[in-house]
Amino acid sequence: MSEVVTFRAKLPNVDVLWAVIARQGRVTRIADVHGTRLAAEADREWRARQVKAYASFIIGEQRPLLEYSIRPIKRAELPRTWRPLPALGILRGASL
């Protein structure tokens, strides 16, 4: 008699996400969320490079430079109407 045995790998806690946090002056918002810290770190670095490339323009507009960081968040912490922020949305007149 043969029996099929299945093994289930322990899945990562999908309730915890990694958020890229955007800060401009005193305003802080969640810019994007990722399933892994590595993906969030890559996104944060890309956004920081974009800000650095346009730093003179942002300063010329008399706006504070955007700063990005990452931190773990729970899925329940995301507002229902949350949408990802473009890296340089302020160039189109949008603000955080």
39 sits in which H/E element: helix 37-53
Q: How many CB atoms lie within 10 A of CB 37?
A: 13
Range of the domain at 45: 16-77
pLDDT per residue over 11-47, tens digit each? 355 678 999 999 988 888 899 999 999 999 999 999 9
25 inside domain: yes
In total, how many domains does the chain have?
Answer: 1
4 inside domain: no
91 inside domain: no
Total-model pTM: 0.74
In angstroms, how far is CA 20 from the centroid of its own chain?
2
pLDDT value of residue 2: 61
pLDDT value of residue 9: 44
What's the Cα-to-Cα distance from 52 to each of 9, 18, 60, 87, rounded to whole Å?
Answer: 42, 23, 13, 11
pLDDT per residue over 49-68, tens digit each? 998 988 888 788 888 888 99
49 inside domain: yes
